[in-house]
Chain A
């Protein structure tokens, strides 16, 4: 079977898994690229994540993650050619709990302008937001996320060494947590890319958790570049440590809207 056909088959299988899924998962599972949304453009993304195998017990009043389905609406508005602001609405659906609002985040982001001619893409994101205590004991959190990426021929690399801090909740005195994310993908064709995404939460900076207590996930993912207006990403991830949900299926469907009425002479 040709390589491109195999990739198409894999994408179709992922689509089937997502279609049949009727549970829940994490909220936004994405390694950020350095590029920002263009000014007068709005990016609308729906993150659909289903935890196939996760935590089955209530821990400290927090709902179990097993068979949770998370639907997250992300709206990102381009401000300039180097700045954007994103807004999230998190929801969760789970048997016995129905559809519930989880929380909201806001995420301003800036990047190094093209005129700097840097050899890599570079941007800095900061995110602050609230989530209900039944979904996360830490109700107010803040994150700062440097983003470095590089496209080399058919290869794409992205690294997000994120730092997180709890502003309200049990971990408020824990200081900064280190949560890196990495993406490596390969362009099989103009339309189809495939690769791996790695997400981790090592715990407090300077005093990492034991491996068993760390969260680590690795996803096999595919991106479908069918149109500059659309963003399509599917993935299946496993969590090998005890503190991580063991199997998650994720999908991102994004659509770019251009509000600018530019003419040919602009």
Chain B
């Protein structure tokens, strides 16, 4: 099988920054500098992780940009592997979006690249590596190469007192055979903002504050549920896009690469745990302390009894039927068995990348992706360089108003989304589980 890395080598895409296209013109002084370099993360005094990080921190720096205002970024790759930075959720040209499958050049070890772009759309985006890990569960998304990206809207209503950015991540992955015969990564420990529960700085709040929490699931493969004991969340945005119907929920669910922005009314003074709902994941470290001013004592956790989440509550029922001018693209997901000692080879319409189809899109046309997940796994599907509207999930009525760039398609279900092809250029579509994309779960849309 030709792996992504091998394919990149064959295609000459990993040739380094010498071949940067004209769109990536150098700026005299970069506004932002990102340095990719080896880094040892101390998740707790007993857990030191040798990884690779941006600017010597995990997660990487919070980058704030203004919607539509040109910004210059320089990326220095001081690691030993070719790297590329994907600007997840932005409408960027293929040459700088950050996926070699779209044509973004890799940055060779020791080399630098400069990018100049006008970020849009506004909202909570992120940046991360977009490379191949294969059997090495310390590389690519398994590493510390991820960071927050906040695109300030031109007008910010600002109905909150403060913001908190949180990244959920899993570490120490190793493959194990699951009960159903698949090989799946499992993890030794988990963190929020690079720290295990009890070892990070608490989030300090005041009674009466409205805190806007931006949560990113940067885990390479795991879905996570998050609750704040004694409080509820008012979800206002998913994947950085305001939802049609903000809702109060007791917990958040985030598939890999998903983001949730939620307001929390700080109306229950005390010292609380914000943590993974599932006991074994919180015990592995995924949690942090939220502490009110003038409060002290042992943090309290209130264990929910079930996992609750659905996309539908944030959408509206569509008022009109499916438009006739929408082009349907049927996509069936399944896997090809390669032995109990191997991961599956993942397929879209019976083909694995780089042999997958390359549907041609017509600029300005609206497309409906009908994603039939025939497999036994859930898949977080991500469309690069575009935002899509969730139209149906698991047999629901027609929905509207829920805009995302990642959607979790549960096993044996169908999800349907629509997008307008308004950003010409190669556009990658893939499962955001690192082990799945490494095993061929990708395809590229081309513009006619």
Taken residue by residue from 173 to 194, chain B's Cβ proximity to chain A (1 for < 8 Å, 0 otherwise) reads as: 0101101110000101000000
Contact A154 B304 (CB under 8 A): no
Nearest B residue to A154 by beta-carbon distance? Answer: B339
What interface size band does chain A fall in? 20 to 34
| Residues of chain B with a CB closer than 8 A to A193's CB | 340
Taken residue by residue from 336 to 360, chain B's Cβ proximity to chain A (1 for < 8 Å, 0 otherwise) reads as: 0111111000000000000000000
Contact A154 B341 (CB under 8 A): yes
| Residues of chain B with a CB closer than 8 A to A189's CB | 337
Nearest A residue to B337 by beta-carbon distance? Answer: A190
Contact flag A265-B174 (CB < 8 Å), given A154-B339, A225-B181: no
Contact A265 B176 (CB under 8 A): no
Separation of A187 and B179 alpha carbons in the complex (Å)? 16
Contact A263 B306 (CB under 8 A): yes
Nearest B residue to A187 by beta-carbon distance? Answer: B339
Q: Does A115 contact B (CB under 8 A)?
A: yes
Separation of A193 and B337 alpha carbons in the complex (Å)? 13
| Residues of chain B with a CB closer than 8 A to A151's CB | 177, 339-341
Q: Does B279 contact A (CB under 8 A)?
A: yes
| Residues of chain B with a CB closer than 8 A to A228's CB | 179-181
Contact flag A153-B337 (CB < 8 Å), given A264-B307, A266-B279: no
Separation of A152 and B339 alpha carbons in the complex (Å)? 8
Nearest B residue to A152 by beta-carbon distance? Answer: B341
Q: Does B324 contact A (CB under 8 A)?
A: no
Taken residue by residue from 161 to 184, chain A's Cβ proximity to chain B (1 for < 8 Å, 0 otherwise) reads as: 000000000000000000000000
| Residues of chain B with a CB closer than 8 A to A156's CB | 340-341
Q: Does A117 contact B (CB under 8 A)?
A: yes
How many B residues, CB 8 Å from partner? 23
**Distance from A113 Cβ to chain B, minimum over Cβ atoms (Å):** 11
Contact B337 A265 (CB under 8 A): no
Separation of A217 and B31 alpha carbons in the complex (Å)? 74
Separation of A154 and B337 alpha carbons in the complex (Å)? 9
Separation of A264 and B307 alpha carbons in the complex (Å)? 7
| Residues of chain A with a CB closer than 8 A to B174's CB | 114, 117
Q: Does A257 contact B (CB under 8 A)?
A: no
Q: Does B325 contact A (CB under 8 A)?
A: no
* Best-surrounded residue of B174, B188, B341 (most CB of chain A within 10 A): B341
* Best-surrounded residue of A150, A155, A187, A228 (most CB of chain B within 10 A): A187
Nearest A residue to B279 by beta-carbon distance? Answer: A266
Separation of A266 and B277 alpha carbons in the complex (Å)? 9
Contact flag A265-B303 (CB < 8 Å), given A114-B174, A115-B188: yes
Q: Does B159 contact A (CB under 8 A)?
A: no
| Residues of chain A with a CB closer than 8 A to B210's CB | none
**Distance from A114 Cβ to chain B, minimum over Cβ atoms (Å):** 6
Q: Does B305 contact A (CB under 8 A)?
A: yes
**Distance from B374 Cβ to chain A, minimum over Cβ atoms (Å):** 14
Contact B278 A187 (CB under 8 A): no
Separation of A225 and B280 alpha carbons in the complex (Å)? 28
| Residues of chain B with a CB closer than 8 A to A150's CB | 341
Contact A114 B305 (CB under 8 A): no
User: Which of A43-86 touch B at CB < 8 Å?
Assistant: none
User: Which of A68-121 touch B at CB < 8 Å?
Assistant: 114-115, 117
Nearest B residue to A35 by beta-carbon distance? Answer: B177
Select which of B176, B277, B342 is within 8 A of A114 by beta carbon.
B176
Contact A114 B341 (CB under 8 A): no
Contact B188 A153 (CB under 8 A): no
| Residues of chain A with a CB closer than 8 A to B181's CB | 190, 225, 228
Nearest B residue to A115 by beta-carbon distance? Answer: B188
Contact B340 A265 (CB under 8 A): no
Separation of A228 and B376 alpha carbons in the complex (Å)? 14
Closest 4 pairs (CB-CB, A-B): A154-B339, A151-B341, A228-B179, A153-B339
Seen from chain A, the residues whose Cβ lies within 8 Å of a Cβ on chain B are 114-115, 117, 150-156, 187, 189-190, 193, 225, 228, 263-266
Q: List 20 A-B residue pairs with CB atoms under 8 Å apart, sorted by A's residue number.
A: A114-B186, A150-B341, A151-B177, A151-B339, A152-B341, A154-B339, A154-B340, A155-B341, A187-B337, A187-B339, A190-B181, A190-B337, A193-B340, A225-B340, A263-B305, A263-B306, A264-B278, A264-B306, A265-B278, A265-B307
Told that A114-B176, A264-B278 touch, could you supply 12 new A-B pairs with CB distance under 8 A? Answer: A150-B341, A151-B177, A154-B338, A154-B340, A190-B340, A193-B340, A225-B340, A264-B307, A265-B277, A265-B303, A265-B307, A266-B278
